[in-house]
A = this chain, B = another copy of it.
């Protein structure tokens, strides 16, 4: 190997040695993130932003199919507006950025940069909803939000991040509940089908729910290091915000009624999930459906007659079927191999003088390193099928990992030992009291990830206090 190739690979900390460093190494080496002089803020570099654009494309299309419309709300919230719903302000006020001056002038009322936009949507809904004919309102917004953080963990925790926030208003509580679950399912399907990440769907405990929500639902995924990641949430607000903001409509009998609301969101955190579920010691491993480049052509012995030309022709052909590209730079093939492995490109296509003679090329899978020599006839079909296969393999592998790292605990000793030794998801029964949640967190660092929709009675008693159990909970240490 050339020195540059070695350097590229050597600089990643092995996953088993230090997972957190492995993560930040990949984030830098795969050109996803660059730090800035602003604490807590990163640059989303083109490769990361392209991933986000692919996520946006799929979700935005799905949202629109389900009848949602995009809007754009102001990024500022006056303090008095943020304060209108009591639980909400308590949840968010400690972590907002405050604008106090405009130009040289001090503001009479300070404004925060949106940490989330419930209050703005509520003010707007109050203005535009009058009659039952105006309902439902199914709005969504793509934007960035700010939550005060001192530390930066790229994609996982930062002062500013990108997201979408859906906000809907309905005539009845039932419709709002349906929407809440519909959008949770939309997220779950997206994670499983596009990101190849299996998720557990469930409801958050009251301690873990969103500030101002009646109920918060979540999809939870398991990272390679056994930690959980909350990957998307959907909230049912009931009529709490509507009452705080006075959002009423006249029903068919001309009586005034409060609306019922929901909100739901996913963030650039999903990029963190992709890294930590699929990545390995050579870098990123991207699911084909979301990869900015699905196939990279690396010509071998490029100085030999016809190689560059034939490879370029092949690239043009393949571009019609998949997101293909070619690297014609003067770097060595070995250097290119290492680079596109680092970037997680699902398939590498090698083509050299001997392949030209045989009308063939070599395809190398990023996920398992498998090499196959294939004919150039029907190469489009071969590649498409291979990408499908990789997509499915990644999902199966992630599912297996989650299954192997999901444990049942029947006693508190077993619970603590499992969290400590194995990490992963620990399923255990819970009485419903926040005291037990607090004790478990203090003793083990694990939090209630969710009460899964798929319940199972492991025993009749709470794993912590021994009182009568109400539900099974997925516990785990989380990002």
Q: CB within 8 Å of B: which residues of A?
A: 34, 36-38, 41-46, 49-50, 52-53, 69-78, 81, 93-104, 110-111, 113, 120, 123-124, 127-128, 139, 143-144, 146, 148, 159-160, 162
Contact = CB atoms under 8 A, between A and B. Distances in A.
A82 to B, nearest CB: 11
A97 B105 CA distance: 10
Contacts of A78: 37-38
Sorted nearest first, the 5 A-B pairs with minimum C-beta distance are A41-B74, A46-B69, A44-B72, A98-B101, A102-B148
A46 B94 CA distance: 32
Given A37-B123, A98-B100, A74 B113 contact: no
Nearest to A45: B71
A148 B69 contact: no
A75 B148 contact: no
A111 B71 CA distance: 27
Contacts of A41: 74-76
A81 B37 contact: yes
B99 A95 contact: no
A98 B99 contact: yes
Nearest to A93: B103
A97 B94 contact: no
Copies in the complex: 2
Contacts of A81: 37
Contact of A113 (B43, B73, B103, B113): B113
B101 A43 contact: no
A34 B98 contact: no
Contacts of A123: 36-37
Given A78-B38, A113-B99, A128-B34, A43 B73 contact: yes
Nearest to A98: B101
Contact of A100 (B101, B120, B148, B160): B101
A416 to B, nearest CB: 33
Given A49-B70, A70-B49, A160-B74, A43 B97 contact: no
A124 B43 contact: yes
Contact of A94 (B43, B50, B103): B103
A189 B70 CA distance: 27
A46 B71 contact: yes
A102 B94 CA distance: 8
Contact of A75 (B101, B110, B160): B160
**Residue picked from A43, A77, A127, most chain B C-beta under 10 Å:** A43
Contacts of A73: 36, 43-44
